Amino acid sequence: MNLLSVKIIRSAFDESESTLPEDMHPVLKRVFAARGITSESELALGLDRLLPVNMLSGADAAAVLLHQVIAAGGSILIVGDFDTDGATSCALAVRALKMMGAKRVGYLVPNRFGFGYGLSPAIVAEALKQNPDLLVTVDNGISSIEGVAAAVAAGVPVLVTDHHLPGDELPAAAVVVNPQLPDDRFPSKNLAGVGVIFYVMLALRAHLRSLDWFSQNSLPEPNLAELLDLVALGTVADVVPLDHNNRIMVHQGLQRIRAGRGCVGITALIEVAKRSRSQLAATDLGFAVAPRLNAAGRLDDMSLGIECLLTDNPQAARTMARQLDELNHSRRHIEGEMVDQAMAGLSDILEQEESELPIGLCIYRPEWHQGVVGILASRIREHFHRPVIGFAPAQDGLIKGSARSVPGLHLRDLLAEIDLKYPGMIVRFGGHAMAAGLTLHEDQFERFSQAFDRETQRHLGAADLFGIIHSDGVLKPEEFTLELAELLRRASPWGQGFLEPRFDGEFSIQKRQIVGKRHLKLELLPEGAADSIIAIAFNQTEMFPDCDKIYLTYRLDINRFRGASTVQLVVENIQVADD
């Protein structure tokens, strides 16, 4: 299967508009300029540059509510989610509340397979068995209309903290904190769930400080910066845009981890992932640490991941980290089989006479695992650059889908349009512009697939089906250095909306080999260079062209092996070079 065509767009750089330091490496200067950074002040990532907490609507009211329950000796139950953002949000809430003097704090995280997402009535029934005085949702709750109503009817108030897009109706919670609310004036709409609860805890500390709470209760005033390792991990894992505010929190969290001041659970996960704690970058959080936490929620129970983040016992953390690592190996095996099955099925579609691949693509097999279909949808989207929804069976004749979009299509809004046009076809849905989840009755799959394709075609044209790769230009032969790779890696937290630097160029192939069944290791000679360089192309064996020269887009990276560090390229796209 060949990857659909891509367009490489090189960033423009006007030196006259930049006031960045003259001694800054020219490659780094153009990288920052391409991301809208033209002055040194925009690179400042100190905590004093964080947006004020009083700008986040509902945060102050949440602080008052939490104080009332804590002062009364009440029980607070955190209701989390089963991904890394949910796990870090839950761990942060539990840790912070205890630091503030709360004596009775617990958590409950829905099992993906038994309860599904969010504060459902079934989860409320489970929560009520613990006799809570307050339910606090983290990374969920904004669409939990029925669940919040069930809790309120039972006499238990709910504090909703979330970052997902709200629907037309808001839950009847005591307080809702969500930067996505229509009347919220918080300048950054990109907080992850863990960022929202962090801001709520900042507001609580400020409220308690104004009441002289800490001295009256002989408590040390907590340094909430100690929790920024959790904020960094959850923010990167949830792939929210790294605007300036998020970059500050991720940078500060990374600094704590590198200095050995992160929680022992994150340290243990870094160890089992065989990454260097002192050299850790945001990409390591996203591609090494987060998948191991996510594996618990995908295949088993996220409580294991949360306990790993809550423990202060290094040995216990290592034991749980090894369990999470084993789950991640299982997840990767399941994912590999599902990708092979999906690609084989799509090959059949493409080989049919006069057939065309749907613009909006839905895939489903009854033997698939619902904890892995989101990863599958991402992989298929990367191959065909079009919106994909992967479905797997749930209970009682239902199937659950995980959707991934492309630029130009707002997934949650599209699902809302389909729900309005075809009432009752979708059981429930929610999510963001680029990722969403939904539930259907299995017998509605074909009908929904057709509707999804039709509605997608209304929003996307042929030009939208080209993969767009933004490049920071061509590197000169003398710029393929370990020093530049280190500089780029540590220059700033890179991620969604503040993409890690990538470059393009032509290379001659000196050697090639398949490693790990799905990956390519290449020895390449850059155009105009005398020395070759090693490159790794993950999951691209089936797309490799049969030629001697290739045109790549790639990241300049570092391979650390047995104490030695060497520069290497991480290939993102391969095309046949023009003659």
* 222-262: pLDDT as tens digits: 999 999 999 999 999 998 999 999 999 999 999 999 999 99
Q: Write out 204-242 in H/E/C secondary structure.
A: HHHHHHHCCHHHHCCCCCCCHHHHHHHHHHHHHHCCCCC
At 47-61, the pLDDT tens digits run 999 999 999 999 999
Of the listed ranges 108-117, 315-324, 472-481, the one predicted with least confidence:
108-117
If pLDDT is split at 50, 70 and 90, which confidence band does 4 have?
Answer: very low
At 151-171, the pLDDT tens digits run 999 999 999 999 998 988 999
Count of CB atoms situated within 10 Å of the CB of 395: 9
User: How far is 382 from 403, CA to CA, in rounded Å?
Assistant: 13
- Please give the C-alpha separations between residue 162 and each of 190, 432, 453, 534, 555, in angstroms, as whole numbers: 11, 12, 30, 43, 33
User: How far is 84 from 95, CA to CA, in rounded Å?
Assistant: 16
User: How far is 117 from 240, CA to CA, in rounded Å?
Assistant: 19
- Which token pair is 18? 């930049």
If pLDDT is split at 50, 70 and 90, which confidence band does 555 have?
Answer: very high
> What is the DSSP secondary structure assignment for residue 15, as one 8-state letter?
G
Please, are residues 567 and 558 in contact by the beta-carbon 8 Å criterion? yes
User: How far is 66 from 234, CA to CA, in rounded Å?
Assistant: 23
| Closest to 391 measured CA to CA, from 419, 417, 369 | 369
User: How far is 133 from 204, CA to CA, in rounded Å?
Assistant: 18
**Which residue shows structure tokens 């953002």?**
85
277 phi and psi, to 5 degrees?
Answer: -60, -45
Q: Does the pLDDT value for residue 353 go beyond 50?
A: no
Report the pLDDT value the prediction gives residue 315, as an integer from 0 to 100: 97
Please, are residues 77 and 108 in contact by the beta-carbon 8 Å criterion? yes
Domain 12-36+469-576 belongs to what architecture?
Answer: Beta Barrel (2.40)
User: How far is 373 from 404, CA to CA, in rounded Å?
Assistant: 10
User: How far is 566 from 558, CA to CA, in rounded Å?
Assistant: 6
What stretches of 100-157 show up as alpha helix (H) in DSSP?
A: 121-128, 145-153
| DSSP class per residue in 241-281 | ---HHHHHHHHHHHHHHHTT-S-HHHHHHHHHTT--STT--
The count of C-alpha atoms lying within 13 angstroms of the C-alpha of 325, restricted to the half-sphere facing its C-beta, is 16
Dihedral sign for Cα 343, 346, 352, 358, please. Answer: negative
Report the pLDDT value the prediction gives residue 79, as an integer from 0 to 100: 95
Please, are residues 35 and 494 in contact by the beta-carbon 8 Å criterion? no
Report the pLDDT value the prediction gives residue 5, as an integer from 0 to 100: 58
Tell me the helix, strand and coil percentages in the chain, rounded to 5.
Answer: 45, 20, 35
Q: Does the pLDDT value for residue 412 go beyond 60?
A: yes
> What fold is seen in the domain 54-326?
inorganic pyrophosphatase (n-terminal core) (3.90.1640)
Count of CB atoms situated within 10 Å of the CB of 226: 15
At 495-552, the pLDDT tens digits run 988 999 999 999 999 998 888 777 889 999 998 888 999 999 887 666 566 778 889 9
**Rounded mean pLDDT of 137-162?**
96
Q: Pairing mode, if any, of strands 388-393 and 398-404?
A: antiparallel
The count of C-alpha atoms lying within 13 angstroms of the C-alpha of 84, restricted to the half-sphere facing its C-beta, is 27
Please, are residues 559 and 568 in contact by the beta-carbon 8 Å criterion? yes
User: How far is 87 from 309, CA to CA, in rounded Å?
Assistant: 8
Q: What is the dihedral of CA 325, 327, 332, 337, to 10 degrees?
A: 160
Please, are residues 239 and 190 in contact by the beta-carbon 8 Å criterion? no
Q: In this structure, which CATH number among 3.40.50.720, 2.160.10.10, 3.10.310.30, 3.90.1170.50 belongs to the domain 356-465? A: 3.10.310.30
If pLDDT is split at 50, 70 and 90, which confidence band does 147 have?
Answer: very high
Of the listed ranges 113-122, 350-359, 497-506, 548-557, the one predicted with least confidence:
350-359
If pLDDT is split at 50, 70 and 90, which confidence band does 438 have?
Answer: very high
- The structural domains of the chain, with segments of one domain joined by +, span 12-36+469-576, 54-326, 356-465
Report the pLDDT value the prediction gives residue 349, as an integer from 0 to 100: 55
Report the pLDDT value the prediction gives residue 25, as an integer from 0 to 100: 92
- Please give the C-alpha separations between residue 49 and each of 45, 46, 220, 498, in angstroms, as whole numbers: 7, 6, 25, 18
Of the listed ranges 65-74, 218-227, 441-450, 555-564, the one predicted with least confidence:
555-564
Average pLDDT, the chain: 89
Q: Does the pLDDT value for residue 96 go beyond 90?
A: yes
Please, are residues 560 and 550 in contact by the beta-carbon 8 Å criterion? no
| Closest to 488 measured CA to CA, from 47, 141, 29 | 29
- Please give the C-alpha separations between residue 572 and each of 140, 263, 470, 481, 556, in angstroms, as whole numbers: 33, 33, 11, 19, 11
Please, are residues 146 and 120 in contact by the beta-carbon 8 Å criterion? yes
Whole-prediction pTM? 0.84
Q: Does the pLDDT value for residue 355 go beyond 70?
A: no
**Rounded mean pLDDT of 209-234?**
97
Give the distance, in angstroms, between the CA of residue 81 and the centroid of all CA atoms in the same chain. 13
Provide the percentage of residues in the chain whose pLDDT is more than 70.
93
The angle at the Cα of 36, spanning 30 to 40, to the nearest 5 degrees, equals 75
- Which token pair is 374? 């989101």
The angle at the Cα of 73, spanning 67 to 74, to the nearest 5 degrees, equals 80
- Which token pair is 386? 């079009």
Residues forming beta bridges with residue 574, ordered by sequence position: 552
Report the pLDDT value the prediction gives residue 129, as an integer from 0 to 100: 96
Report the pLDDT value the prediction gives residue 116, as an integer from 0 to 100: 61
